[in-house]
Amino acid sequence: MCNSVGKSRNSMVKGLVLVAALLLIGAGAVFALNLPGLGKCEKVTAVNGVVSIPLAKVADGKAHYYAYSDAGKVINFFVVKAKDGSVKTAFDACDVCYEAKKGYTQQGEAMVCNKCNKKFATDKIGPSSAGGCNPSYLPHQEAGGNVLLKVEDLKAGARFF
């Protein structure tokens, strides 16, 4: 009788350890996928001082997240085609909430700050909506079917990350 109780207790402990390990792995995966630069961002590199992203890749109206690395610093940004047809680029951070390093999530036609939950219409993102919790504007050009971002402009947003 004592032997079967010991085996039963041993099996229960092993089961609890397995459940705890699975919970930790799951929580770690969720955490990693929500950190800027992990999970949601595609890594990009520059050629001759310019990062190039095909317009066709971002033409679906969804926010596309990217990460550019410079001297060990990862700079996150997004590209989204607004409902008016214009392409918008911004750092995945703002002047107010950037220290939380939570960035933005898209909800329909708006980008939502993951820290304070303020919503910003995608078609309003740009140089005239700078400051506050607005997505921090990232200048770009469009040429040859690509969105072009200068490395110097990306580096200017390094302070957010």
Output the pLDDT for position 5.
57
Q: State the pTM of this model.
A: 0.74
Query: pLDDT tens digits for 66-119?
Result: 999 998 899 999 999 999 999 999 999 988 888 888 999 999 999 999 999 999
Residues ≥6 apart with Cβ < 8 Å to 98:
136, 159, 160, 161
Q: Under a CB-based contact definition with an 8 Å cutoff, are residues 89 and 147 in contact?
A: yes
Give CA–CA dist 49/32, Å, rounded.
30
pLDDT score of 133: 83
